[in-house]
Amino acid sequence: MNTEVRVALIGYGLAGATFHAPTIAATPGLRLATIVTAKPERQERARREHPAARVGDRVEAVFAGHEHDLVVIATPNVTHVPLARAALAAGQAVVVEKPFAPTAGEARGVVAEARRHGLFLSVYHQRRWDSDTLTLRRLIAEGALGDVLRFESRFERWRPVLTGGWRESGAPGDAGGLLYDLGSHLVDQALHLFGPVTSVYAELERRRPGIAVDDDVFLALTHASGVRSHLWASALAGQGGPSVRALGTKATYVKLHPDGQEAALLAGERPDRPDWGEEPPTRWGLLGAGDGASPVWSEPGAYPRYYAGVVASLRHGTPPPVDPDDAVAGLGIIAAAQLSAATRQTVSLPAL
Residue 165 confidence class, pLDDT cut points 50, 70, 90: confident
Q: Maximum Cα–Cα distance for the chain, whole Å? A: 64
Q: How far apart are CA 243 and CA 221, in angstroms?
A: 17
Average pLDDT rounded to a whole number, residues 259-286 = 96
* CATH placement of domain 133-300+333-348: 3.30.360.10
pLDDT tens digit string along 117-159?
999 999 999 999 999 999 999 999 999 999 999 999 999 999 9
Q: Are strands 93-97 and 197-205 parallel, antiparallel or unpaired?
A: unpaired
Domain range list for the chain: 5-124, 133-300+333-348
pLDDT of residue 164: 87
Per-residue pLDDT reduced to its tens digit, 249-258:
999 999 999 9
pLDDT level of residue 342 (50, 70, 90 thresholds): very high
> What is the rounded average pLDDT of the residues 187-195?
98
The yes-or-no verdict on residue 213 having pLDDT over 80 is yes
Residue type, 111: V
For residue 65, the model assigns a pLDDT of: 80
- Contact partners, residue 232, CB within 8 Å, separation at least 6: 152, 153, 154, 155, 156, 186, 217, 218, 219, 241
Which whole number is the average pLDDT over 306-333? 98
Residue 351 confidence (pLDDT) = 57
Return d(Cα 297, Cα 310) in angstroms, integer.
28
The structure's pTM equals 0.95
Question: Cα separation of 286 and 142, whole Å?
Answer: 16
Q: 310 and 95 in contact (C-beta within 8 Å)?
A: yes
Residue 246, number of CB atoms within 10 A of its CB = 28
Q: What percent of the chain stands above pLDDT 90? A: 94
* pLDDT (mean) for 50-60: 96
Angle among Cα 231, 336, 101 to the nearest 5 degrees reads: 90
The mean pLDDT of 215-243, rounded to a whole number, is 97
Asked if pLDDT for residue 237 goes beyond 90, the answer is: yes
Residues 300-307: what's their mean pLDDT? 98
- E strand or H helix at 6: strand 5-10
- pLDDT of residue 2 exceeding 80, the answer is no
Closest by CA position to 200, among listed 214, 186, 212: 186
Q: What is the per-residue pLDDT for 1?
A: 59
- Contact, 72 vs 8, CB < 8 A? yes
What average pLDDT does the segment 203-224 reach? 97
Mean residue pLDDT across the chain: 96
Mean local confidence (pLDDT), 264-292: 95
Q: How many CA atoms lie within 13 A of 111 on its CB side?
A: 19
CATH architecture of the domain with residue range 5-124? 3-Layer(aba) Sandwich (3.40)
Return all residues near 292 (Cβ < 8 A) that are at least 6 apart.
none
Mean pLDDT of 208-230: 97
